[in-house]
Chains A and B, each alone.
Chain A
Amino acid sequence: NAGVTQTPKFRILKIGQSMTLQCTQDMNHNYMYWYRQDPGMGLKLIYYSVGAGITDKGEVPNGYNVSRSTTEDFPLRLELAAPSQTSVYFCASSSNPSRETQYFGPGTRLLVL
């Protein structure tokens, strides 16, 4: 199992550009999450999904969109990049968040200039 994979590892965007951060898991987990981690801070939940076709907002959803067309994939879309979106983005998945750990991807570092 590859676990949770994220691409790209690092990206520089100009203000106003758009991009999609990819996340794939091969563990057949229903639950998937997107977090952002600002320097020296904890993780803040952007969006999450409890299964294919179902998504919901987290703590900081503004400026982002997600979709979940398959169990494996949970892409995060930035439509109009802003400097405030400079952060490290983590994708995670879980089979049962109440009883099992969340498995995290390696992260995507995004710099918006």
Chain B
Amino acid sequence: AQTVTQSQPEMSVQEAETVTLSCTYDTSESDYYLFWYKQPPSRQMILVIRQEAYKQQNATENRFSVNFQKAAKSFSLKISDSQLGDAAMYFCAYLRRGAQKLVFGQGTRLTINP
């Protein structure tokens, strides 16, 4: 069974600085998708970024980018120029191609210090 591990329960960063959240996963599949979701205090889950495993190029969305290391099964999220609104729980998730079910990590709580 696939598993997703986020080894950092909590992280904090100064406003305007850069922070990296870690995620590793375990799978025997070669074709899959990886996601980062943000959950602010409102509890609404928001998709931040998506990576397709067959693409070597790392996905980017404005201040958010990933470092996808397929051989190492690592999928970290980098947030540049951190803003107060980035404070939230961040969840890494895995989806096997053709499957219907996301597998989520335990989450990392990110605090932004003004």
Partner-B contacts on A (CB < 8 A): 31, 33, 40-45, 48, 50, 58, 88, 90, 92, 97-99, 101-102, 104, 106-107
Contact = CB atoms under 8 A, between A and B. Distances in A.
Interface string B37-80: 00000111111001000000000000000000000000000000
Interface in B2-42: 4, 6, 9, 33, 35, 42
B100 A50 contact: yes
Given A98-B98, A98-B99, 12 more contacts: A33-B101, A41-B106, A42-B4, A42-B6, A43-B91, A43-B104, A48-B100, A99-B33, A101-B47, A102-B45, A104-B45, A106-B42
17 contacts: A40-B9, A42-B6, A42-B91, A42-B104, A42-B105, A43-B104, A44-B104, A88-B43, A90-B45, A97-B99, A98-B33, A99-B33, A101-B50, A102-B102, A104-B45, A106-B43, A107-B44
